[in-house]
Amino acid sequence: MKLADKVVIITGGARGIGKETAQKFFQKGAKVVICDRDRSAGMAVLEEFGDKNRVEFFEVDVTNTAQIEEMVQSTIDTYGRIDILINNAGITIDGFLTKMNEDDWEKVIAVNLSGVFKFTKAVIPVMMQQGAGVIINASSVVALYGNIGQTNYAATKAGVIGLTKSWAKEFGPKGIRVNAIAPGFIETDMTSTVPEKVLDIMKEKTPLKKLGKPEDIASAYLFLASDDANFINGAVLSVDGGLVI
Ligand code: NDP
């Protein structure tokens, strides 16, 4: 995969899948720009990278348009282009519908769905000028089969598939590929509060009989971002050990 010198923005890059993805792109020689709302976690990630010339952290909340636009402009000022955008930031606020209040609904929509809309809207003009670019959005297996207690989360992740396919059609003619990844259960902070019993059931339901690791998703992001995937557009790549077969 030729990713050396590519400029990649990764949202939610301070922890979990985003952090692993940032490290993999960095190892491939890419110029990595991460954002996260947790400054101390972001600075800790920077410390782990050797060459500080090829990595930058921005304290940005993906719900905040002004912060996004500032980060995108600063990246263009530094590197002159943006080759890859990975809309990875996401949150869960789970609960049965009867107990889910409107605030829990709005907050998850704001990050997981509107955040993807806002970031992509900020990045798309430069990609159109370039006549090239790759956008990858984080969906989830729950978008494909639903999940008890995840009304808000499943709705956002299904929405991400809808916008991914729309943008694949809208921007394909401009040389921009747009795809989504639908991870199964991955061992990160996000799933650390899921009861052991539920995780065991998920493992049992997964043909590969295990949970995924952040590097499994990071590798899929890398593949879709690379020229090896240059005829893949509008796809939803399940990376779930076969869970949704
Ligand atoms: P984590 O919770 O481990 O990491 C998510 C990162 O996103 C955190 O660093 C978090 O920061 C950041 N983030 C959250 N909200 C915002 C925001 N408003 N602005 C900027 N950054 C933000 O999650 P994962 O690594 O597990 O998940 C990554 C993506 O993959 C998500 O979109 C998730 O929905 C998706 N996914 C994950 C699965 C899993 O099993 N883990 C399964 C399917 C999909 P902070 O520390 O401040 O919260």
Query: What are the residue boundaries of the structural domains of the chain, listed by start?
Result: 7-239
Say if ligand 1 is within 6 A of residue 90 CB: yes
At 52 the pLDDT is: 76
Look up the CATH superfamily of 7-239: NAD(P)-binding Rossmann-like Domain (3.40.50.720)
pLDDT band at 196 (very low <50, low <70, confident <90, very high): very high
**How many degrees, rounded to 5, is the angle at CA 42 between CA 39 and CA 46?**
135
Q: Confirm whether 221 is a catalytic residue.
A: no
pLDDT digits (tens, 9 = 90+) for 153-192: 999 999 999 999 999 999 999 999 999 999 999 999 999 9
- Residue 241: pLDDT band (50, 70, 90) is very high
**For residue 51, what pLDDT is reported?**
72
What integer pLDDT is reported at residue 50 of this predicted model? 75
**What is the value of ipTM here, to two decimals?**
0.99
Alpha-carbon dihedral 117, 123, 124, 129, rounded to 10 degrees: 170
Site of tokens 């499943």: 154
Distance of alpha carbon 186 from alpha carbon 56, whole angstroms: 26
DSSP structure class, residue 97: G
pLDDT digit string, tens, across residues 175-185: 999 999 999 99
Could you tell me the two tokens for 19?
A: 């952090």
- What's this model's pTM, rounded to 2 decimal places? 0.98
Q: Is 17 in the pocket of ligand 1 (CB under 6 A)?
A: yes
Beta bridge partners of residue 31, listed in sequence order: 7
- Annotate 51-77 with b (16+ C-beta within 10 A) or e (fewer): eeebbbbbebbbbeeebbbebbeebbe
Cβ of 88 below 6 Å from ligand 1? yes
Pocket test for ligand 1, best of 67, 86, 91 (most atoms within 8 A of CB): 91
Give 55-110 pLDDT, tens digit per residue: 999 999 999 999 999 999 999 999 999 999 999 999 999 999 999 999 999 999 99
- Tally of helices (H runs) and strands (E runs) in the chain: 9, 7
C-alpha to C-alpha distance for 191 and 214, rounded to whole angstroms: 11
Collect all residues with Cβ–Cβ distance below 8 Å to 180 and sequence separation of at least 6. Answer: 136, 137, 138, 139, 160, 161, 164, 235, 236, 237
Tell me the CA–centroid distance for residue 88 and ligand 1, in Å.
Answer: 7
Q: Which one of 79, 145, 153, 221 is the catalytic residue?
A: 153
Q: Is any ligand 1 atom within 6 A of the Cβ of residue 77?
A: no
